[in-house]
Amino acid sequence: MSKLAENVSRIRSKNAGPFWITIDIFCGSTEVYKDVCKRLNNSEVADLLKIQGQDLKRFDIEKLNVIKFSFPRKIPQGDILDRDMHGAQMAVLLSEINL
Partner 1 sequence: MICSTVLVPSGVLGLGFDLKALENGLKRKPNIISIDGGSTDSGPHSLGSNTSKYSRAAIKSEWKILMQAREASNIPLLIGSCGTCGTDSMVDWMEDITIELAKELKQSIKIAKLYCEQDKNFIKMSFKNHKVLPLEPSLKLDIDIIQDMKHIVALAGAEQIQECIKTGADIILAGRATDTALISALPLMNGADPGGSWHGAKIAECGALCSNNPTSGVVLVEFDQTGFTVEAMSDKALCTIETVAAHMLYENADPFILFEPGGYMDVTNASYTIQEKGKVRVEGANWIKSDRYNVKLEGAKIVGYQSTLLVLLRDRHYVENSKTWIRNLSNFLESQIQEKMALDSSSYSLEFRLIGVNAVLGELEISSGNPVEVGVLCIVTSKTDTISTEIAKLINPFLLHYPLTDNEELPTFAFPYSPVHSDRGCVYEFALNHTLELNNPMEVFRIKISEV
Kindly identify the residues of this chain, within the stretch 65-94, that bind partner 1 according to CB under 8 A: 66, 68, 70, 72, 76-86, 89-90, 92-93
Alpha helix stretches (DSSP H) within the chain: 4-7, 30-39, 42-49, 91-95
Distances (CA, A) of 32 to 18, 63, 91: 32, 13, 18
Interacting residue with partner 1 among 4, 8, 11, 15 (CB under 8 A): 15
Residue 44 interacts with partner 1 (CB under 8 A)? no
Q: Taking a C-beta distance cutoff of 8 angstroms, is the pair 65, 21 a contact?
A: no
The footprint of partner 1 (CB under 8 A) covers: 14-20, 22, 24, 26, 48-50, 57, 59, 61, 63-64, 66, 68, 70, 72, 76-86, 89-90, 92-93, 96
